[in-house]
């Protein structure tokens, strides 16, 4: 796949404040990339710079071989969908979609055909003559999507398009956006602060924090091999356990010694006192004899598909908590109870250490 968008050393300052610090990455043709990060990390600013709605302070942006760094938004080849839908309330659904097409110089005949095609594409053919306030939030966002895509942009920009919708509609619409994006093969960038959304939708995720990129990778890479403590903490639930690395074969956690298999050396910092990061689904209740640590169960919370079990690392009130996810079927066999002392095995192939 060819590079479609190249961002090179982009800096954006608002007065003395640096919102984006030397941002560099590229997006391949047909790729779906999510900018993920906490509020204020700069993801919307980056999207707005790509759209030309903000001028960059320095750096270079090249889209499909054209230097777009200083092009005004109307000269750039993108369609944009906002969180707030931004439909014209006094125009019907079909007129909202037709407006941009007319401005592009399409004939009335072409406009009608294209509007009908895109209404069918987003499943809103029966709503052509309704006004935005007669539609649900999800339907309005589908109109906004159709309006953006009808102009056949080279790049689709989505600024938190699902945040204003309730959970069920959000899941439905995210599948619809993915289906359309793959069907059309349109290069897309979506801003979100919702890690689940990014993991479910993106081909690659750009994780941002305080104006810099922490990591770029596939959802699996970001989740399974977080490059920094920030990424480990921000994406999914992560346990951080204080540990001491004895040598390449043993780690001490509290009173327990854990053996590290020779063929899967530990990832991250390899000596001294560390924080060991492990996902709740990589911990297993086991018998005492196994390579395990002793914990005391504090709370057991039913989560539908699994139980989230909060454990205390050793029998002191100040002991740190760790969370373990136990699939429902397994939990029935284990007969877990609050205040029990149990043993936890750690999948040492799935741990990473941070300083
Ligand atoms: P959110 O998820 O809350 O929208 P974000 O990651 O999209 O956050 P941005 O909106 O890009 O963050 O803002 C990044 C930083 O830049 C913030 O500290 C914000 O206050 C600042 N900022 C954004 N726009 C301006 C502006 N026009 N003038 C001054 N500061 C701004």
Cα-to-centroid distance, 226 and ligand 1 (Å):
25
Residue 291 confidence class, pLDDT cut points 50, 70, 90: confident
Each as own residue / partner, the long-range contacts of residues 119-125 (CB below 8 Å, 24 or more positions apart, any chain) are 119/93, 119/94, 119/146, 121/146, 121/149, 121/180, 122/146, 122/176, 122/180, 123/176, 124/93
DSSP code of residue 16: T
Q: Whose CA is nearest to atom 16 of ligand 1?
A: 19
Q: Which two tokens stand for residue 271?
A: 């000596």
Ligand 1 centroid–CA 19 distance in Å is 7
Q: Which own/partner contact pairs does 262-271 have at CB distance under 8 Å and 24+ positions apart?
A: 264/348, 264/349, 266/348, 266/351, 266/352, 266/353, 267/225, 267/351, 267/352, 267/353, 268/352, 268/353, 268/354, 269/245, 269/353, 269/354, 269/355, 270/245, 270/353, 271/245
Atom 10 of ligand 1, nearest CA residue:
44
Q: How far apart are CA 165 and CA 156, in angstroms?
A: 20
What's the gap in Å between 307 CA and the centre of ligand 1? Answer: 38
- Taking the mean position of all CA atoms in its chain, how far away is CA 177? 15
What spacing in Å lies between the alpha carbon of 18 and ligand 1's midpoint? Answer: 10
pLDDT at position 1: 78
Q: How far is the CA of 212 from the centre of ligand 1 (A)?
A: 13
What is the pLDDT confidence band of residue 270, given thresholds at 50, 70 and 90?
confident
Domains of the chain: 3-233 (3.40.50.300), 237-354 (2.40.50.140)
Name which residue sits closest to atom 5 of ligand 1, judged by CA: 40
At 108-142, the pLDDT tens digits run 999 999 999 999 989 999 999 999 999 999 999 99
Cα–Cα distances (Å) from 73 to 16, 26, 79, 184, in that order, read 25, 20, 10, 23
Kindly indicate the confidence band of residue 355, based on its pLDDT and cuts at 50, 70 and 90: confident
Establish whether residue 147 lines the binding site of ligand 1, counting it when its CB lies within 6 angstroms of any ligand atom.
no
Residues of the chain with pLDDT > 70, as a percent, come to 99
Residue 43 beta carbon below 6 angstroms from any ligand 1 atom: yes
> If you measure from the C-alpha of residue 208 to the centroid of ligand 1, how many angstroms do you get, rounded to a whole number?
13
Q: For ligand 1, atom 24, name the residue with the nearest CA.
A: 45
| Distance from Cα 42 to the centre of ligand 1, integer Å | 6
User: At residue 289, does pLDDT exceed 70?
Assistant: no
pLDDT score recorded for residue 168? 85
Mean pLDDT of 169-185: 92
| pLDDT score for 315 | 66
Nearest ligand 1 atom to the CA of 47 is 11
Kindly give the distance from the C-alpha atom of residue 151 to the centroid of ligand 1, in angstroms, as a whole number: 28
- Summarised one tens digit per residue, pLDDT across range 325-335 is 999 999 989 99
Arithmetic mean of pLDDT, 97-103:
93
18-60 pLDDT, tens digit per residue, is 999 999 999 999 999 999 999 999 999 999 999 999 999 999 9
Q: Count of CB atoms within 10 A of residue 131's CB?
A: 16
Q: Is the pLDDT of residue 257 over 90?
A: no
Q: Indicate whether residue 39 lines ligand 1 (CB < 6 A).
A: yes
> Which residue's CA is the nearest one to ligand 1's atom 23?
45
Residue bearing the bigger pLDDT, 21 or 165: 21
**What pLDDT score does 165 carry?**
87
User: Does residue 216 contact residue 228 with C-beta atoms inside 8 Å?
Assistant: no
How far, in Å, is the centroid of ligand 1 from the Cα of 335?
49
In angstroms, rounded to a whole number, what is the distance separating the alpha carbons of residues 337 and 354? 32
Q: Which of 16, 43, 45, 163 to mutate to test the pocket of ligand 1 (most atoms within 8 A of CB)?
A: 45
pLDDT top residue among 337 and 266? 337
The ipTM of this complex is: 0.97
Residue 3: pLDDT over 80: yes
Global pTM value = 0.91
Q: Is 37 in the pocket of ligand 1 (CB under 6 A)?
A: yes
Our mutation pick for probing the ligand 1 site, out of 44, 47, 157, 189, counting the most ligand atoms within 8 A of Cβ, is 44
Residue whose token pair is 């793959």? 182
Range 292-310 average pLDDT: 93
- Minimum-distance ligand 1 atom for the alpha carbon of 42: 11
Chain segment 343-354, per-residue pLDDT in tens? 999 988 889 999
What is the tens place of the pLDDT at every residue in 153-162?
A: 999 999 999 9
- Average pLDDT of 82-107? 93
């Amino acid at each position: 796949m060819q590079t479609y968008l190249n961002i090179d050393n982009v800096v954006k300052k608002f007065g003395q404040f640096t919102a984006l610090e030397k941002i560099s990455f590229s997006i391949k043709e047909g790729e779906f990339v999510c900018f993920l990060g906490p509020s204020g990390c700069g993801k919307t600013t980056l999207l707005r710079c790509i759209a030309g709605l903000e001028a960059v302070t320095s750096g270079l942006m090249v889209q499909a071989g054209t230097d777009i760094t200083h092009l005004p938004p109307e000269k750039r080849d993108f369609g944009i969908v906002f969180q707030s839908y931004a439909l014209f309330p006094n125009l019907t659904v079909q007129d909202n979609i037709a407006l941009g097409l007319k401005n592009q110089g399409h004939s009335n005949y072409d406009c009608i055909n294209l509007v009908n095609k895109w209404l069918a594409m987003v499943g809103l053919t029966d709503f052509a003559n309704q006004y935005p306030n007669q539609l649900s939030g999800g339907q309005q966002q589908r109109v906004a999507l159709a309006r953006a895509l009808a102009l056949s942009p080279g790049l689709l920009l989505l600024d938190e398009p699902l945040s204003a919708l309730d959970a069920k509609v959000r899941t439905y619409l995210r599948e619809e956006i993915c289906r359309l994006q793959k069907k059309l093969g349109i290069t897309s960038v979506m801003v979100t602060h919702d890690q689940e959304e990014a993991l479910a939708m993106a081909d690659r995720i750009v994780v941002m924090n305080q104006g810099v990129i922490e990591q770029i990778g596939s959802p699996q890479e970001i989740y399974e091999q977080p490059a920094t403590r920030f990424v480990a903490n921000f994406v999914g639930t992560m346990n951080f356990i204080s540990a001491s690395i004895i040598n390449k074969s043993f780690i001490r956690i509290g009173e327990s010694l854990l053996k590290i298999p020779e063929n899967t050396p530990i990832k991250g910092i390899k000596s001294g006192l560390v924080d060991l990061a492990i996902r709740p689904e990589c911990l297993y209740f086991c018998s005492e004899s196994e390579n395990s640590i002793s914990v005391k169960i504090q709370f057991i919370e039913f989560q539908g598909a699994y139980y989230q079990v909060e454990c205390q690392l050793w029998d002191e009130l100040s002991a740190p908590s760790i969370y373990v996810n136990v699939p429902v079927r397994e939990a029935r066999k284990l007969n877990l109870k609050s205040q029990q002392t149990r043993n936890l095995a750690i999948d040492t192939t799935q741990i990473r250490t941070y300083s």
